[in-house]
Amino acid sequence: MNELLLEIAGWLGYLERGPVQLQLLVLLAVRLLPQLPVLHRRLQGWPKALRPLPGIALALLISLPLAAAGVPMGLLRFLTLLWLGWVALGWLQQALPRWLSADQVHGLMSRLVRPGYLVLALLALINRLDSVQDVAVIAVGRLFSVEINLGKVLSALVVLYLLMVGSGPPSALVAWVLQRLIGFSEGSRKALELILRYAMVGLGIAAVGYHLGFNSTALLAVAGGLSVGLGFGIKEVFSNFVSGLWLLFEGSVRPGEVLMIDGDPCEVRRLGLRATLLWRDRDNAELLIPNQTFFTDTATTYTATDRLRRSQVSVGAAYRHDPARVIALLEATALTVPRVLRRPAPKALLLSYGDSAINYALRFWIANPMDNVGICSEVNQAIWTAFAEQGIEIPFPQQVQHRPGAQPPSPERSPRQELPGPPL
């Protein structure tokens, strides 16, 4: 480790050289030049992807006369070309949506292409300052009596990162092929995809261990330490991991399913290593629910066998209206709402006799549980309009007060006849 620190200190020593400082200042000035008000206004009319090009061209043009005058300009040209490569990645990101979805492009660029470019740029910069081969053999320490050098550590990190990022598509392809051959369910396919991905990562970790020089005894010691950690420190994480696999195999919680969480319909977006990601439509929020929660708490699903859901709205009508007429009007009104299903047919019911009104319920079926709130609003508006057209009153709550000593109303006249509710 001391050798590595000395090597880094030697690289920083290059900053004390005048030509190096000059090149860095030129690059910084060229980079900040477009921020000047005059140039900034001119560049606003350019496409965003082309705005860095004048600065890159200017940096290369400045390096030519200085190099002809005998001033070293190799670092400036090198850093400018790296800058041009980074801009080219932006052009690539704009071209990829022709073949890939926006999410796939974002994941590919942010997780693989741009990090890989930064690693290659760092290695190229080290190679200009020193030799990558000489840096790779620098010892950084010992682990399980095995000496580890910097090259092995960096290569192990790169392999592990590629496994974590790149194991998804191969696992998905193998799981899809097996689903076509065997014919198991979609939930089982996703579970198999997840298991294959974790198996690839596990085998990759073992291969990295052997690459670093660990023997089987050292790997067993690491596994034993992990088992102790699972027993004490991260047992909840391991429990959630096993719960997620079980949920996928069982098929009770699958991506695309709609669950009721705290009274709100939420769509399952992804079963992760620790938690399940759900999307709540009413406020566009994403919820992270620990996987083991579905084993300890009751969850209501509307999509276990299909996505049909029966919904209901309640309404009151005055006592003077014939219940049969009100029920028929409610059922006919539900059929006028476009998102209410015709089959099964809507059904209106007389639920109870309230203090101020007869209470009815209108039950109907919808195709998507996530649309329940909006459809109920449409049905309620349609009921309001239909009642107004047919002269059916939705009464307000009423109370009749009698003064002490006053004669009570006769049986022939009910309190509601004395104090009728306000019209609709």
- Structure-token pair, residue 405: 């000593």
Query: Which phi and psi (to 5°) does residue 401 adopt?
Result: -105, 140
Confidence grade of residue 107 (pLDDT, cut at 50, 70, 90): confident
List the Cα angle 36/38/43 in 5-degree steps: 90
Confidence grade of residue 383 (pLDDT, cut at 50, 70, 90): very high
- Which residues on adjacent β-strands are paired with residue 312? 363
What is residue 208's three-state secondary structure?
helix
- Which residues on adjacent β-strands are paired with residue 365? 310
Report the share of the chain in percent with pLDDT over 70.
81
For the segment(s) 309-390, the CATH number from 3.30.70.100, 3.40.50.2300, 3.40.640.10, 3.40.250.10 is: 3.30.70.100
Which range, of 57-61, 227-231, 387-391, averages the lowest pLDDT? 227-231
Position 286 pLDDT exceeds 60:
yes
Position 283 pLDDT exceeds 60:
yes
Average model confidence (pLDDT) across the chain: 79
Q: What is the pLDDT of residues 116-138, one digit of tens each?
A: 889 889 888 888 877 777 777 77
Decide whether 257-301 matches 309-390 in CATH topology.
no
Pairing of strands 309-317, 347-353: unpaired
Which range, of 229-243, 302-316, 328-342, averages the lowest pLDDT? 229-243
List the Cα angle 84/89/93 in 5-degree steps: 150
- Which residues on adjacent β-strands are paired with residue 13? none
Position 40 pLDDT exceeds 60:
yes
| CATH class assigned to 257-301 | mainly beta
Predicted structure pTM score? 0.56
The full set of domain ranges for the chain reads 1-136, 139-233, 257-301, 309-390
pLDDT of residue 381: 95
CA distances from 385 to 1, 318, 336, 341 (A): 80, 16, 11, 20
List the alpha helices (DSSP H) in 130-252. 132-136, 150-166, 168-182, 186-212, 216-232, 235-250
* Buried residues in 181-219 as b, exposed as e (16+ CB within 10 A): eeeeeebbbbbbbbebbeebeeebeeebbeebebeeebe
C-beta neighbour count of 342 within 10 angstroms: 10
Position 312 pLDDT exceeds 90:
yes
269, 278 contact by CB (below 8 A): yes
Q: What is the pLDDT of residues 248-277, one digit of tens each?
A: 666 667 777 788 887 788 888 877 767 888
Q: How far is 93 from 415, CA to CA, in rounded Å?
A: 75
* Best-predicted range by mean pLDDT (118-122, 133-137, 187-191, 345-349): 345-349
Confidence grade of residue 42 (pLDDT, cut at 50, 70, 90): confident
- Structure-token pair, residue 338: 């476009």
